[in-house]
Amino acid sequence: MKTLLINPPSPDFVVFEYNIIPSSLLYLASSLQEKGEKVRILDINNDITNLKKQGRINTKEYLYGKLEEELLSFNPDFVGISCLFSGRFKPTIDIARRVKNQGDIPIVLGGMHPTIFPREILQEYSCVDYVCIGEGERTLVDLVRGKNPEKIDGLAYRKGIEVRLNPKTSFIKDLDSLSFPAYGLIELEDYYFDTSSWDNPKGIPLNNPVPILTSRSCPQQCTFCSMHLVHGKSWRPRSAENVVDELDMLVNKYGHKFFTLLMII
């Protein structure tokens, strides 16, 4: 099976200071690759960010042209779209509709917004076939590999016209069991930006802070935060050895020396 994973663009009112590597898609991709599946990543958000810096981008024209090009060249059996936050939902649905116009390809959404509103999305948008609830590595692998949707933990789907929802009951306790993110599916150089104005006494090539996820979730369940809805109510850390091994791999294989350690995600 061939799976195309897509990172949709952010709305124009969301402005980031630097290019952001889509760690969630890289983790999903590595989980699929571990099972022998073919995966490609299309980071539309980063492409548009780079082109906007050059002052030469028609967002919709690029979005549809690049998407059609990828669908024709890769001919995926599955398309997964990551909708990290609600501001990206409109472009997520635009992409899903465009994919459906190219053929009857199963489409699965994931991310915070779909996790919180899976039933509403499936009821309103016929272009979406499935929604992954919470962390998606195990759920997506089961779905792509043909497991009966009724038996997949944390999956929302349709049976006929009825929307069904399998609650998320199982989270990955041993994060060390996950393969490292599939950095080989992206060009890290595409995420580099100008750091020449930063205070850098030792002259280390900074380029971009690669995010290293050292744990998942948080036990606090604050009213303003949806983290416990996405990653459960228990904080789950990676081992220090596992984190260092990923850093070592990035330094020695990719020559990268600048990282951001994220302790809660």
Closest CA to 79 of 105, 102, 118, 111: 105
Give residue 243's pLDDT.
97
Q: What is the pLDDT of residues 177-202, one digit of tens each?
A: 999 999 999 999 999 988 889 899 98
Residue 259: per-residue pLDDT: 94
> DSSP of 7-72, one letter per residue?
EPPPPTT---SS----HHHHHHHHHHHHTT-EEEEEEHHHHHHHHHHTT---HHHHHHHHHHHHHH
Are 25 and 82 in contact by the 8 Å Cβ rule? The answer is yes
2-166 sits in which CATH class? alpha beta
The dihedral over CA atoms of 238, 242, 244, 250, expressed in degrees to the nearest 10, equals -110
Arithmetic mean of pLDDT, 84-105: 94
What confidence category does residue 264 fall into, taking pLDDT thresholds of 50, 70 and 90? low
pLDDT at position 61, please?
A: 83
**What is the pTM for the complete model shown?**
0.95
For position 228, what pLDDT does the model report?
86
Mean pLDDT, rounded, of the chain: 93
How do residues 242-259 score in pLDDT, each as one tens digit? 999 999 999 999 999 999
The whole-angstrom distance between residue 142's C-alpha and the CA centroid of its chain comes to 17
Q: How confident is the model at residue 262 (pLDDT cuts 50, 70, 90)?
A: confident
* Band of residue 143 on the pLDDT scale cut at 50, 70, 90: very high
**Greater pLDDT, 232 or 155:** 155
Domain spans of the chain?
A: 2-166, 177-262
Token representation of residue 213: 């996820």
Distance CA 218, CA 143 (A): 27
44 CB burial (10 A radius; 0-12, 13-18, 19+): buried
DSSP class of residue 149 equals G
Task: Give me the percent of the chain exceeding a pLDDT of 90.
Answer: 76
* pLDDT interval class at 64 (50, 70, 90): confident
**Segment among 18-22, 134-138, 209-213, 261-265 with least mean pLDDT:** 261-265
Residue 226: band (very low, low, confident or very high) from pLDDT cuts 50, 70, 90: confident
Q: Is the confidence at residue 16, as pLDDT, over 80?
A: no
For residue 196, the tally of other CB atoms under 10 A from its CB is 6
Distance CA 130, CA 128 (A): 6
Q: How far is the CA of 265 from the CAs of 9, 24, 75, 213, in angstroms? A: 21, 10, 32, 7
Residue 95: which of 65, 58, 53, 140 has the closest Cα? 65
- With b meaning 16 or more CB within 10 Å and e meaning fewer, what string describes 215-244? bbbbeeeeeeeebbbbbbeeeeebeeebbe
